[in-house]
């Protein structure tokens, strides 16, 4: 995407310098690059010089994406705000948007945590899917997608970018290449994940679909992988068919499977009496986060975790609590 960007407006040279700087320090900057390009095209059509980029011009640009949700509009405006801060290093008089006037943040979406019974029901439904002329392994693909997303905590994009060469059948691992923050990681497959992947590969060979290392893991046609929108819609259709919905009646997001992976991992450690402080860095590395602090985003304090924490607290503090209940005895 970045190599294709050609800025043509009055701010083109500064926009190009800013983008190059961000990329040079290791930022992917794909989404921000598209925002910069969107502004550049707007300025090219409406402004002849840099002085024309003022509060009125910024507001007019903002009106071109009013159809987006407030969180996205706020993010786009903050991208330009940070660009303007960079621009001020060489032009102290340039326009600087006021963040106080940006749209409000989108409310935090509480993740939906799938129950194990729901996952099993969804797998049963996926196993009953009919093959399609464009996807002869439709049922095997969706079963594998559900299992890997639930047992490995993969992001949807990471799953779709996997190739057959990223799977090591001897080590039973998957190599996730340069995902978010340019981080690559090797993740071990769970027994269920390894078993489901083996079933899928057997079916793939039987249908004589490509088996070379460069082929997409989730193959649709002869050499075509599933698109992000395609796999997303297919999984959402399964959620609807399975009657899975949040307390507000909304269909869960595919990304909620990643939340579920993290929460269920934490629950297992609670029940095993493990030291969570020592375990959290492992979960962080497994999920491809920069630090354990990022992983906390995926660990909402749901009722199941609260109950497990209460049990652990009661077990740890039982002697102290018992001492208060014995007459005449001080702790």
Q: Which residues are catalytic?
A: 155, 180
Task: Please count the CA atoms within 13 angstroms of the CA of 230 that sit on its side-chain side.
Answer: 15
H helix count then E strand count, the chain: 13, 3
Report the C-alpha gap between 276 and 51 in whole angstroms: 55
Structure tokens at 195: 């078993």
Report the C-alpha gap between 331 and 319 in whole angstroms: 9
Largest CA distance in the chain: 87
Residue with tokens 């905590």: 153
List the one residue out of 54, 97, 52 whose CA is nearest residue 73: 97
DSSP 213: T
Element (H, E) at 188: strand 185-188
Burial class (CB in 10 A: 0-12, 13-18, 19+), 257: buried
Sorted by sequence, the CB contacts under 8 Å of residue 301 that are 6+ apart come out as none
Report the C-alpha gap between 252 and 200 in whole angstroms: 26
Q: Which residues pair with 163 in a beta bridge?
A: 216
Angle among Cα 184, 185, 191 to the nearest 5 degrees reads 150
Q: By three-state DSSP, how is residue 53 classified? A: coil
Structure tokens at 210: 């490509």
């Amino acid at each position: 995407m970045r190599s294709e960007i050609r800025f043509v407006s009055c701010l083109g040279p500064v926009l190009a310098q800013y983008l190059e700087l961000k990329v040079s320090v290791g930022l992917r900057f794909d989404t921000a690059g598209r925002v910069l390009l969107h502004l550049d095209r707007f300025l090219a059509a409406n402004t002849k010089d840099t002085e024309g980029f003022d509060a009125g011009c910024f507001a007019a640009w903002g009106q071109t994406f009013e159809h987006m949700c407030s969180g996205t509009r706020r993010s786009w405006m903050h991208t330009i705000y940070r660009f303007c801060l960079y621009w001020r290093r060489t032009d102290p008089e340039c326009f600087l948007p006021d963040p106080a006037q940006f749209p409000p943040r989108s409310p935090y979406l509480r993740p939906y945590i799938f129950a194990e019974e729901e996952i099993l029901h969804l797998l049963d439904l996926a196993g009953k899917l009919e093959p399609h002329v464009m996807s002869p392994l439709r049922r095997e693909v969706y079963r594998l997608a559900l299992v890997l997303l639930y047992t490995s905590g993969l992001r949807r994009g990471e799953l779709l970018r996997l190739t057959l060469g990223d799977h090591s059948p001897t080590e039973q691992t998957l190599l996730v290449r340069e995902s978010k923050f340019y981080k690559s990681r090797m993740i071990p497959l769970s027994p269920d994940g390894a078993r489901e992947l083996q079933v899928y590969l057997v079916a793939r060979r039987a249908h004589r679909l490509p088996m070379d290392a460069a082929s997409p893991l989730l193959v649709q046609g002869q050499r075509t992988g599933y698109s992000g929108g395609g796999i997303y819609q297919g999984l959402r259709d399964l959620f609807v068919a399975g009657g899975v919905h949040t307390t507000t009646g909304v269909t869960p997001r595919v990304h909620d499977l990643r939340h579920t992976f993290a929460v269920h991992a934490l629950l297992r450690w609670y029940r095993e009496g493990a030291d969570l402080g020592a375990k959290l860095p492992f979960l962080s590395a497994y999920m491809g986060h920069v630090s354990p602090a990022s992983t906390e985003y995926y660990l909402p304090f749901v009722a199941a975790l609260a109950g497990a924490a209460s049990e652990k607290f009661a077990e740890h503090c039982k002697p102290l609590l018992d001492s208060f209940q014995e007459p005449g005895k001080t702790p």
